[in-house]
Amino acid sequence: MSKITEQFIRKIPKTDLHLHLDGSLRLSSLIEMAKAEKVKLPSYEEAGLNELVFKPKYANLGEYLAGFAYTCGVLQTLENLERAAFELAEDSYNEGVRYIEVRFAPQLHIARSKEIEPVVRAVFQGLEKAKKQLNASKAENDMPFEYGIILCAMRRFNRHMSPYYGRLFSHAGKTGHRYIYARASLGLVKEAVRLRDEGLPVVGFDLAGEEAGYPAIHHQEAFEYAHQNFLRKTVHAGEAYGPESIFQAITGCHANRIGHGTFLFSEEAIKLKSIKEPGKYIGQLSEYIANQRITMEVCPTSNLQTIPEFQTLEDHPLQLMVDNGLSVSISTDNRLVSHTTVTKELMLCVEHLNLTEHQFRNLVLDGFKRSFFPASYLEKRAFVRRAINLYDGLAKLHLD
Name the DSSP class of 112: S
Rounded to whole angstroms, how far apart are CA atoms 303 and 254?
Answer: 24
- Give the max Cα distance, the chain: 67
Residue 371 CB-half CA count within 13 A: 35
Measured CA to CA, the distance from residue 302 to residue 171 in angstroms comes to 36
3-state SS assignment for residue 177: helix
What DSSP letter does each residue of 17-33 carry, written as one string?
A: EEEEGGG---HHHHHHH
The verdict on whether 87 is a catalytic residue reads no
Cα separation, 141 vs 124, in Å, equals: 27
CB 198 within 8 A of CB 188: no
State the pairing for strand pair 257-260/328-330: unpaired
Alpha-carbon gap, residue 144 to 264, rounded angstroms: 35
Which helix or strand (DSSP H or E) is residue 284 part of?
A: helix 278-292
The active-site residue, picked from 101, 128, 239, 297, is: 239
**What is the b/e burial string over 36-70, where b = at least 16 CB atoms within 10 angstroms of the residue's CB?**
eeebebeeeeeeebeeebbbeebeeeeebbbbbeb
Amino acid identity at 71: T
d(CA 348, CA 298): 12
Catalytic residues: 239
